[in-house]
Amino acid sequence: MNKIFWPVLLALTLSACGTTGGTQATVEDRTGGKTGAAGAGQAGGSGKAAGTETVALGGAGVAGSSLDGSGSYAGDPRKNPASPLSTRSIFFDYDSFVVKDEYRPVLEAHAGYLLSKRDARVILQGNADERGSREYNLALGQKRAEAVRKALAVLGVGEAQLEAVSFGEEKPRNEASTEEAYAENRRTDVVYADE
């Protein structure tokens, strides 16, 4: 597992070095339907934003308010739906603990936020699908949480800001016994302690 994981960490490290000041100028969200956009404290970004014009202000220390009109984004960059910080779930392949490359921007964004706010803490909650032993699945979920924790640590986030825990198969997001449900349940959730 380490052999596979290290290149990913290396890639994360290198790209982290490539950014400065905790900004995520190179961030591009390729995780799903969400549009690509800038990270915290960086207006503009990839230019792929489709129909959403948001400016994340919190990370830059500038007081501001939401421009998205929904009222749900009140200046906290973690709540900005256009920011990779709003991506809180890292999904894994079957029997795998490797953080896929597509999550690099998400992890960079969270690392950037945590580096800019040293009193912020995240709990990384690993999960597994329902097949097999509950305790073994707890350990599998832990491995997934641990993989995300290590990736954030490599990006410079302090140990005291991170805790990796596991829910195993006990708190499925999708309770069905289908391949689709299993895929949804193989994940690590990034949960901020103050949220």
* Closer residue to another protein, CB minimum distance, 73 or 92: 92
Distance between CA atoms of residues 181 and 171, nearest Å: 12
SS3 of 5, please? Answer: helix
The minimum distance between CB 21 and another protein, in angstroms, equals 30
Neighbours of 191 (CB within 10 A): 14
The minimum distance between CB 130 and another protein, in angstroms, equals 9
The minimum distance between CB 78 and another protein, in angstroms, equals 19
Is residue 48 within the footprint of another protein (CB under 8 A)? Answer: no
Site string for another protein, 145-174 (x = CB under 8 A): -x----------------xxxxxx-xx---
Distance between CA atoms of residues 158 and 172, nearest Å: 29
- Cβ neighbours for 5, distance < 8 A, ≥ 6 positions apart: 97, 98, 99, 147, 150
The minimum distance between CB 145 and another protein, in angstroms, equals 8
* Closer residue to another protein, CB minimum distance, 64 or 136: 136
* Closer residue to another protein, CB minimum distance, 67 or 123: 123
Distance between CA atoms of residues 176 and 33, nearest Å: 23
The minimum distance between CB 141 and another protein, in angstroms, equals 8
* Closer residue to another protein, CB minimum distance, 93 or 170: 170
Contact (Cβ atoms closer than 8 angstroms) between residue 102 and residue 109: no
Task: Supply 31's token pair.
Answer: 């995780």
Q: Give the CA angle between residues 65, 66, 70 to the nearest 5°.
A: 145
Is residue 143 within the footprint of another protein (CB under 8 A)? Answer: yes
- Contacts with another protein by CB under 8 A lie at 2, 123, 125, 131-136, 138-140, 142-143, 146, 163-168, 170-171
